[in-house]
Structure formats: C-alpha cells, structure tokens
C-alpha cells in the first residue's frame, strides 16, 4: 500500500518530540508528578502501523495541567512546530469517549514522568467509523488497519469491532449510515490492500473538492453541508464514491466466487 507523502509528524520525530516534552515537563516542575497521555487518530496509527508514515497533527487525551501546556508550547517553539501540534480538540467531537483510557494500551514512558498510552486495532476502527469523514483519512485508515492486522496474522473481525463500538459508545445508534454500510461491505469484500488505494484516491479528491469550493465560497462549508458538497463534486467528476467503489468490488468478488454455470447438453439430431 502507498504511504502518505506530506505532513509534519512521523514515528521517528514524534518519539523525539515526546521525549523532549517529557524533559521540558520535568524541568518545569513535574519531576515528582508523572502524567499520562493517550494518543489517538493519526498519531496512534503511525506509532502502531506501517501503512501510513505521517500525520499533520497529534490528537491526544491530555491532562489539564498548566505546566504540561507550557511544556507543549516550549517544545513547539523550539522545533518550529505548528500551534496546537499536540492537542485534545477531538474531545469536543463525537468520536470522543470517556472509556478510551480503559481500552488504551501502554506505549512508552519518557524520562520516567510521561507515560504514553495508545489506542489500537478495533478501537481505532470504531473511532474512525464514528468520525466517518470522507475528506480525511478515516476510511482509508480502516482499510489499512484491517490489511496490516491480517498480514500480522491477527485479523480483526466484525464481532471485535462491534464489541469496541459498544464498549466506547454503547452501540451503533449515533454512527453515520455510510460508515455502518462501509464496515459491512469492506469486511465482506476482504481485499483490503486494493480497497485502500481506491479509497485513498477518493479522499484526496474529496479534500481537493472542498478546498476548491472554499476558495469560491469562503466560510460556507459546515459539518451539516459538507457531505452534500462532496456528493455534488463526485457527480461532476464522474468518479465513484467510496461506497459505490466498494459495492462494485463486492459484486466483482461475488462474481469471481461463483462457480461457472454448466450449459445443458443439447440434443444431437444425428443421434
């Protein structure tokens, strides 16, 4: 599968920044007060999987401690990182759950004061399905996680994802219909590597559509109308949507799996 070619953070430099963050926090007075953060989203993916090399910002569950905020700003200034390079903005979105800590896994400890945990596997998939953004990496990340888990010999089943959804969100009621259809279809098709490439191309196109629209109609795009704008862009481009592409792959997979029909032997009049 192809990797991301743009963005600010990789596994290597993210670990460096976390190490520097721990040192800065320690210097500002946190030596005797260890803290814990939980990486989610793109940060969790680049730390755990190889299909995606980069992310543009670091989403995390962060403690509300003033010297930690100062440490984040100091590290950002020293390395010329964007403002909010490490942030907890996602806590204001529907993908947040107060159960995330319970289902996170230990990652690394830096300078004995910064304990980093991480969201992985089916729990990342549950969060990506809840977000369900067609112009981000949400759907391609799901395909990438499914493929890499399969390659590791630890495939993720629908039952595992269903358990994660119930553990984090109490069920599927608040999930976008497209996301629910997507997970059923991709698990049924199963060719995750091929689907990853198709979906990623669609996501890149969707982002371009929104940027072009924003240039012509600044300030118009909202969470309520973004799907309509993207649907209009898909119709104009003539390219299939993510779900349409999946449906076609599903039909092709079913056709390939069907045994060839045997033609009835015709009566030979010469007999």
Band the pLDDT of 8: cuts 50, 70, 90: confident
What does the block give as tokens for 253? Answer: 């997979």
Residue 221: per-residue pLDDT = 84
- Is this model's pTM higher than 0.85 or not? no
- Tell me the backbone φ, ψ of residue 75, rounded to 5 degrees: -65, -40
Which residues in 64-94 are b (16+ Cβ under 10 Å) and which e? eeebbeebbbbbbeeeebeeebbebebbeee
Q: How far apart are CA 131 and CA 203, in angstroms?
A: 14
Residue 264: per-residue pLDDT = 43
User: Could you read off the pLDDT of 211-249 as tens digits, one per residue?
Assistant: 888 888 888 888 778 778 777 766 666 566 666 666 666
User: Could you read off the pLDDT of 130-174 as tens digits, one per residue?
Assistant: 999 888 899 999 999 999 999 999 999 999 999 999 999 999 999
Answer yes or no: are the C-beta atoms of 49 and 24 closer than 8 Å.
no
Residue 175: per-residue pLDDT = 96
Q: How far apart are CA 183 and CA 173, in angstroms?
A: 15
- End-to-end Cα spacing for the chain: 58
Residue 102: per-residue pLDDT = 96
Answer yes or no: are the C-beta atoms of 61 and 100 closer than 8 Å.
yes
């Amino acid at each position: 599968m192809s990797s991301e070619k743009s963005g600010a953070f990789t596994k290597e430099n993210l670990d460096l920044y976390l190490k520097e963050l721990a040192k800065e926090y320690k210097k500002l007075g946190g030596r005797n007060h260890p803290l814990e953060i939980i990486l989610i989203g793109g940060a969790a993916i680049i730390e755990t999987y190889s299909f995606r090399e980069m992310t543009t910002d670091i989403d995390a569950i962060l403690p509300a401690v003033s010297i930690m905020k100062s440490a984040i700003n100091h590290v950002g200034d020293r390395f010329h990182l964007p403002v909010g390079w490490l942030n907890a903005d996602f806590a204001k979105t529907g993908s947040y759950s107060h159960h995330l800590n319970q289902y996170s896994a230990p990652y690394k400890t830096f300078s004995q004061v910064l304990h980093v945990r991480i969201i992985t596997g089916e729990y990342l998939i549950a969060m990506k399905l809840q977000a369900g953004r067609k112009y981000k990496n949400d759907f391609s990340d799901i395909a990438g996680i499914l493929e890499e888990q399969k390659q590791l010999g630890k495939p993720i089943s629908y039952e595992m994802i269903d358990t994660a959804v119930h553990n984090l969100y109490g069920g599927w009621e608040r999930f976008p219909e497209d996301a629910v259809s997507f997970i059923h279809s991709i698990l049924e098709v199963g060719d995750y590597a091929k689907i990853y490439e198709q979906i990623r191309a669609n996501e890149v196109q969707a982002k371009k559509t929104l940027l072009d629209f924003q240039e012509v109609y600044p300030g118009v795009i909202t969470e309520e109308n973004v799907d309509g704008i993207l649907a209009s862009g898909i119709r104009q481009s003539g390219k299939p949507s993510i779900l349409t592409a999946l449906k076609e792959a599903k039909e092709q997979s079913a056709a390939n799996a069907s045994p060839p029909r045997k033609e009835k032997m015709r009566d030979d009049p010469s007999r």
